[in-house]
Structure 1
Amino acid sequence: MTAVTATTADTFRPALHYAARNTWLNDPNGLIHHEGVYHLYYQNNPRDNVWGNMSWGHATSTDLLTWTEHPVAIACDEFEDIFSGSIVFDRHNTSGFGTGSTAPLVAVYTSAYKTPSALHGVQAQSLAYSLDGGYTWTKHPGNPVLNRGSADFRDPKVIRYESDAGSYWVMAAVEAQDFEVVFYKSHDLKYWELLSSFGPANATGGVWECPDLFPLPVDGDPENLKWVLTVNLNPGGPNDGSAGQYFVGDFDGTTFTSDTTVTDGLQDPDRLAEYQWLDWGRDYYAAVSFSDVPDGRRLMIGWMNNWQYANEIPTSPWRSPMSLVREVSLHSVEGSWRLAQLAAGELAPRAGQSPSFSLAAVEISEGQRVLDGAAGSVQRIEFTATPGTAEEFGLIVRGEGAQGTRIGIRPAEALIVVDRRESGHTDFHESFASIDAAPIRATDGGYEITVYVDRCSVEVFAQGGRITLTELIFPAATSTQVSLYASGGTATLTSLNVTQYA
């Protein structure tokens, strides 16, 4: 839970998600697990609650749920804004920034140069280092270390690549307007050699940003590894606005080869549903993964907002939360590969944990049924059901009277939908009220959905996390009802469990 709890004047401050105390945040940066602590850095305006003055904010956690906010880590100045990037633990001091027995953390970030700079208008990659575990940072005097003379070269994600032929640093960054991920190689983080590029491919309806590259075992088999390349884009998402996509394939230390490309080149607008999306909701963007997580787990977090209305969401004095941290796995599905994502950390269901409300083997009949005893504003809802004659059936959360957020299944259309047209405060921007959909198919004749409800959001994980939808909502504090609903017929609720968090 965030350090600041909700008050009457701050109805929407999340309990399960990180939000800065009183400023703006957007893209997560520099995610790393180091010396037992998860470090979340992020794009931050330390002077206001709208975008601007881009610097790296900083928060830490030991359980991925309770976050402590720290002072700004890397601040903008008169010459540069500090755009997105990543952090590596340079355990062998390849950079030379370490001293004695202290190996440095090294941040690789985008310098967005301002008018007073001789590089005004250029985006290039720079370094900063920390010798105290990530709390204070010193900019490298030789910045930038990689400059293509481009106005849209940004968001470096750096990993350590290990092979029989040796090991070295690999950077994935973007030429945003060209829909291209470019890969570079370095032995010391200071001098970089171009390796290859990837793209355009699949979704190209907006600029490409915030790439990530990592290996995952298929179906948990460590002998069968595939590489995942994620890239975010704005706009051009499957339900409009900001979104993230991914490709699965191979990386040989030089070139990424995709096995899951649908459109080679600029996208086909009619094929958006065929692309592989990190999340189908409106509010999951710039997602990247943590480095050096124990046991080889792959954990990701995204910015829970959409550039269509990001600066106007009705929160104060803070603006924008992060998503839940998700554990990501890779699975073979009908001859291809699909990511699955589940909530990580203390929110994950625990053995022996008893829900506060349960229901089983109930017909979901036409209309709406309020579930007495299930109400709450911060909760996990686990729902399984089988279709019947209903055109649509599901849950209404954060409800009160006619208001509420609908999470429904449309079996004949093979869709799961989140309808936030009656989710409370929706008129602050013309594009906010929406019905957002994702393809879904029954598994063994049924549907399994887990919903994390918070004071300003719902995160939906369906069919074992193979489909996710993340949505901001802004209901009244009194809107806490949970209901079942169906239209055009009936369905059968197999089980429903509600766990309250606040």
Structure 2
Amino acid sequence: MRYFILATLLYCAACAPTELDPNQTSSADTSEVYRPLYHFSPEAHWMNDPNGMFYKDGTYHLYFQYYPEGNQWGPMHWGHASTKDLVHWTEHPIAIYPDTALGYIFSGSAVIDTFNVSGLAVDSTPPIIAMYTFHKRPGDVQTQGISYSLDGGMTYEFYEGNPVLPNPELKDFRDPKMMWDGTQWICALTVGQEIAFYGSENLLDWKPLSQFLGEHGNHGGVWECPELFSLTTEEGVRKDILLVSIGSGAPNGGSGTQYFVGHWDGTTFTAEHEDERYMDWGRDNYAGVNWWNAPTDRGKKLFMGWMSNWEYAQVVPTYKWRSSMTLPRELSLVELDGQFHIKQQFRLDGGNGFQANLEPKMGLRGANTFGINFSAEPQWSLRLTSAEGDTLDIWTSVDSIYIDRSKCGLVDFEPSFKNIMSGPRKTTAAEYEMYIDIMSLELLADDGLTAMTATFFPKKPFNKLEFEGLKEGTLTSLRE
């Protein structure tokens, strides 16, 4: 277990910044220098999509796509980690291994079968039902399988009736996400660049219901990791949401996650808008889904994504381990100019650190681990600088938000990594949240209506902050 503490303030001469040596190339170098403190990252090896997240008995469980024999993508397993406060993480042994006959274990979901509709319970223990994609090579045949846990999600057994959904002669047929719609169990999964919906009474036998074509969505890359769920506004208006990740062709290049607002009638999902909408306009938030059964206010959900991008995920300079997850974010629904949008708010239950007033110019000595909450003029700019000359720039125009990491340390491992990223503003609301954690920036702008996430690899931690257009704010130092 790596232990993270929200701790003391930012500027003290005794706190020397961590030295980064970008010239080292072995697994013992920048692997630990760039390891985040309060985001989950695996102790070693490759990780991508979050899978099967659920909450039970005070513990949040996270499974993830994992290759335990290398630092690039390989035969997929389900890794496992858990937390009680979304800050302190414990990594557990692998939960689900590939099946020799049916293949690798690709992305999927997990639910708690409280009423034992599957019939897989022993005694009075509700089983945890995990549904995922088997990927068999050679041939790249994808089918859907079930595993179940009788010990709270620590270990799983293969269901003897696998596969529960055979392949209908499709190349891309994957990433099942289960949910309860009030009358039946629903499974959403991708079929090429469409979403197929299936229904079930027992989580084991599934019948086709409909397909969503998403005519007005982004079809620039393969569709992946869908999820159907509902959100409710503070005024009581309920809408159904469909998440769809795209492997390439996102607005700022590479992978990203779009969402549709609409209505689920028990058989069919219908979107109610024609514009493209994204969970995050930065380049480093992909394949995100919600926790099953997470404690939230009524009408909200708890979301987390993979903090990387398929264009460069396999070559980032961390070597021993690759990739981390985003911070958990609570999702809510708001109405703006007659349209409904997702609003996001960071969720860290592990406590609050000591705070200082945010000033237009400040010295920083906190190993790149801090959060700021601030209000600003409609157009503002923020620059973070290190003693080595690394700069990270964030700024706004009237209608857009920008992030430039092109001069922030190691950037040449992939050509597009240096590209400036931008996202549209839905409003010029003045409230912002931002977290920096060693090698990542997560910004919730304009009162949480626009999110932007970016990773970066500076040569030294930031030691200076310069802010133009600041009204007021607080800075919280986050130290190990």
Fold conserved between structures, TM > 0.5: yes
1:371-410 → structure 2 map (5 Å cutoff): 371-372=362-363, 377-387=368-378, 393-397=380-384, 399-400=386-387, 402-410=389-397
| Counterpart residue identity of residue 206, structure 1 | G
Question: Which residue of structure 2 lines up, in the alignment, with residue 356 of structure 1?
Answer: 356
Change (3 A) 1:403 1:347: farther
Contact 1:173 1:210 in 2 (8 A): yes
1:16-415 map, 5 Å: 16-79=38-101, 80-115=103-138, 120-147=139-166, 148-162=168-182, 167-175=183-191, 177=192, 179-201=193-215, 202-218=217-233, 220-222=234-236, 224-260=237-273, 262=274, 274-295=275-296, 296=298, 297-346=300-349, 355-359=355-359, 370-372=361-363, 377-387=368-378, 393-397=380-384, 399-400=386-387, 402-411=389-398, 414-415=399-400
Q: CA RMSD in A?
A: 2.1
Which residue does the alignment assign to 2:11? none
The answer for the alignment partner of 1:433 in structure 2 is 418
Alpha-carbon distance in structure 1 between the residues aligned to 2:443 and 2:240: 25
The 10-residue stretch of structure 1 (433-442 or 180-189) with the greater mean CA deviation from structure 2? 433-442
Alpha-carbon distance in 1 for matches of 2:169, 2:132: 16
Look up the equivalent residue of 2:272 and give its one-letter code. D
Checking the alignment, whether the CA contact within 8 Å between 2:177 and 2:188 is kept in structure 1 is yes
Contact 1:129 1:137 in 2 (8 A): yes
Helix, strand or coil at the partner of 2:184: strand
Structure 1: gaps spanning 5 or more residues:
263-273, 363-369, 486-491
Which of residues 456, 469, 475 in structure 2 aligns to 1:498? Answer: 475
Question: 1:335 and 1:478, CA in 2 relative to 1: closer, same or farther beyond 3 A?
Answer: closer
Deviations 1:169-215 (A, max 9, x none): 1100011x2x1010001111221111011013311100100001111
TM-superposed CA distance for 1:7, in Å, is: 9.4
- 1:365 matched residue in structure 2: none
Counterparts of 1:375 and 1:18 in 2: how far apart (Å)? Answer: 19
TM-score (norm 1): 0.86
User: CA separation of 1:230/1:355 partners in 2, compared to 1, >3 Å: closer, same or farther?
Assistant: same
Supply the distance in 2 between the matched residues of 1:310 and 1:53 (Cα, whole angstroms): 16
CA-to-aligned-CA distance 1:246-270 (integer Å, 9 cap, x gap): 011111111111112x2xxxxxxxx
Q: Which amino acid in structure 2 is aligned with residue 78 of structure 1? A: T
Q: Answer 1 or 2: higher relative contact order, Cα 8 Å, separation at least 6.
A: 2
SS in 2 for 1:346: coil
> Structure 1 240/161 Cα, relative in aligned 2: closer, same or farther at 3 Å?
same
Alignment match of 2:404 (pick from 415, 419, 428): 419
Q: Shift of residue 113 of structure 1? A: 1.3
CA 1:182–1:289 in structure 2 vs 1: closer, same or farther (change >3 Å)?
same
**Counterparts of 2:211 and 2:260 in 1: how far apart (Å)?**
14
1:86-122, Cα deviation, whole Å (9 max, x unpaired)? 001111111111112111001001011123xxxx432
- Secondary structure of the structure 2 residue equivalent to 1:197: strand
TM-score of the two chains, using structure 2 as the length reference: 0.90
SS in 2 for 1:476: coil
Checking the alignment, whether the CA contact within 8 Å between 1:374 and 1:482 is kept in structure 2 is no
* Structure 2 unaligned regions, length at least 5: 6-17, 21-28
Q: Deviations over 1:201-232 (max 9, x none)?
A: 311100100001111112x234x211001100
- With over 3 angstroms needed to count, the CA separation of the structure-2 counterparts of 1:467 and 1:207, relative to structure 1, is same
Note if contact 1:217-1:226 (Cα within 8 Å) is conserved in structure 2. Answer: yes
Distance 1:184 1:381, change over 3 A: same
